Amino acid sequence: MSGAYNDIKQRLQSVTQTRQMTNAMYLLSAARLKKTMRSMDYTLDYNESLRRLMTDILTKAEDNKLHHIYLEKSPKGTALYLCVLGDKGLCGGYNADVAALTLSKLAENPAAGVCCFGRVGYDLLRRKGVTPMKVFPGATMHPEFSLAAEISKDLLEKYLTDEYNEVFLIYTPFSRKGKSEPVCARLLPLMSDDFTDLEEKAPADMLYAPDPVTVFEHIVPLYCASLLYNLLVQAGASENSARMEAMQSACDNADTMIDSLSTEMNAVRQLTITNEITEIAAAAEARKKSGQ
């Protein structure tokens, strides 16, 4: 009986220690999420303003029947998917969901190339039979605009030389209302259909000097870098939110196990005490009878 009691006690200690670690990870993810959301609010406002400007320019370009390489898909080249995953695990199905969407897109377009953000995501895709051409570790944990600008510059150069004719971003947008699913957003070419979600439009009387096309050519690199940076920030927030949810669930499960093991340990201890009392009473009764 004492052996069973000790086994339960050791298991209870192990679960308690695990609960302390999951709670620490929950608090760390919460602190990181709070820090990320402060910068995300600024990037969202800036990105929305830039998107409204791009929508206005694209509308004017369509009205004037203007053509530009950034607006048309080249018959040469292949598509490229940039998938944003995490550098660490223990975040539920966050990485698996992004990887699943990436694999489904590659099944539709087997000739497409893949680059990914996040070391864990890179290893996950390799286990699924897909080896990304490039990996950018730490990009979502510590997003930097300089990295986004460098990547977007390289993408634009390869797009202009027809190495890629389409560029897509696969990421998990952050939602304050709960868990969100990964989406696939087009980066290049620029199409007016990709801006239909905007509620506000740019002022109708906005003027562009010397002309909309020249402004458009200068603003596209900034737009691509801003959009990529915004998605990295959102993905980082989504990852921390998913990890918080996973760690909270782990803490709740640990609490349930602790309660169950405590009840079982108390029952075993009570049974042990009862058996000892019974043995003492029986020994006393036997001694009493032998003395008579």
The CATH classification of domain 28-245, taken from the options 1.10.3470.10, 3.40.1380.10, 3.30.590.20, 2.60.40.1120: 3.40.1380.10
pLDDT of amino acid 240: 86
Helices (H), the chain: 2-63, 94-108, 119-127, 145-160, 212-291
Average pLDDT of the residues of the chain: 82
Coil/strand/helix, residue 114: strand
Q: In the structure, what pLDDT confidence band is assigned to residue 169 with cuts at 50, 70 and 90? A: very high
What are the residue boundaries of the structural domains of the chain, listed by start? 2-21+247-278, 28-245
Tell me which of 93-107, 124-138, 161-175, 177-191 is least confident.
177-191
| 73: Cβ contacts below 8 Å, ≥ 6 apart | 165, 166, 189
Higher pLDDT, 37 or 101: 101
Half-sphere exposure of 285 (CA within 13 A, CB side): 6
pTM of the entire predicted model = 0.80
pLDDT tens digits along 240-271: 888 888 888 888 998 888 888 888 888 878 87
Highest mean pLDDT pick, 60-64, 91-95, 174-178, 273-277: 91-95
How far apart are the C-alpha atoms of 106 and 280, rounded to whole Å?
74
Q: In the structure, what pLDDT confidence band is assigned to residue 2 with cuts at 50, 70 and 90? A: low
DSSP run (H or E) holding 135: strand 134-136
pLDDT of amino acid 102: 92
What average pLDDT score do residues 67-79 get? 79
pLDDT of amino acid 165: 87
Q: In the structure, what pLDDT confidence band is assigned to residue 73 with cuts at 50, 70 and 90? A: confident
